Structure 1
Amino acid sequence: MFSWPTRVYWEDTDAGGVVYHAQYLAFLERARTEWMRALGHGQETLRAEHDLVFAVRAMRVDFRAPARLDDVLDVSVSLSGCRRASLVLDQAIRRGGSLLLDAQVRVAALGAADFRPRAIPDALYAELKSHETKIAE
């Protein structure tokens, strides 16, 4: 499981100092991006070397408890399904040991030039498949 730390800043919160619900999606996106970068496949590398981008196709999010201004958060990413043209990622946001949010995110593989669905290149698919933790539903 990959983990990315972040802190809640003023710009992430509403007037009450609680993280605005849409900002959690940005935290999840950044963690997915950093997960791919840690595997050696940053966004620019995917585009330049594979003519590939990943775009969110579907998302299920369960908000369990609020994060607040100055909280230190841990955003995790785990690949639960790797198909030829999509990935399913399980993600969570925690503060200390407390689960604040969990999500399942399905991303589609698209051609960077035309944004049409396409298969993940074989070598990249094999590498990603090796990180799969379970079969996606």
Structure 2
Amino acid sequence: MQPSEFRFSYPLRVRWSEADLQGIVFNGHYLNYADVGVTEYYRELNAANPGRDDLSGNEFFAVKTLLEYRAPAMFDDLLDIRLRVSRLGNSSMAFSVGIFRHETLLVEGEIVYVRADQQTRRPLPIPAGFKEAIRQFEQVAPSEA
């Protein structure tokens, strides 16, 4: 996994409260970093599609997270949180996550979301317009997403 594999990037500096006494980031914080990245991904997706209000991801619920740790982040490191939508299904989508320090991969993973009704949590199809906005944002041909 290389930083160049991702269109989206968000910088995040490791805060003191996220590290132990040796300055190493506690592993539970990496999922929070990925979540911040997803939020900022949607913010940038919306900025790339002015006038649309259906690209917030508010109807998506996380159903699976997987993180693989390669190297530790340290207090005050400037991290590069990188994400891309790696799969768009009928009602689900997957983000590939890479957390880097410079060019060094620290953590890689995947977060799978399902679009669902807010009340019943039953899956709903992802609208075609949402999928197209993702494809354009990712600069991926429809047959590849």
TM-score with structure 2 length normalisation?
Answer: 0.79
Look up the equivalent residue of 1:96 and give its one-letter code.
H
Could you tell me which of 104, 127, 133 is aligned with 1:127? 133
1:1-137 superposed matches below 5 A: 1-40=7-46, 45-46=53-54, 52-130=58-136, 131=138, 133=140
CA RMSD in angstroms, aligned pairs only: 2.4
Q: Distance in 1 between matches of 2:56 and 2:101?
A: 36
Question: What are the Cα deviations for residues 34-88 of structure 1, in whole angstroms up to 9, with x where unaligned?
Answer: 10110108xxx55xx8894222111221100000110000000011111121111
Structure 1 length-normalised TM: 0.83
Which of structure 1's runs of 4+ aligned residues deviate more than 3 A?
A: 49-52, 132-136
List runs of 5+ in structure 2 lacking aligned partners.
1-6, 48-52
Corresponding residue SS for 1:35: helix
Q: Which has the higher strand share?
A: 1
Aligned CA distance change for structure 1 residues 34 and 58 (closer, same or farther; 3 Å): same
Q: How many residues align?
A: 131
Structure 1 unaligned segments of length 5 or more: list them.
Answer: none
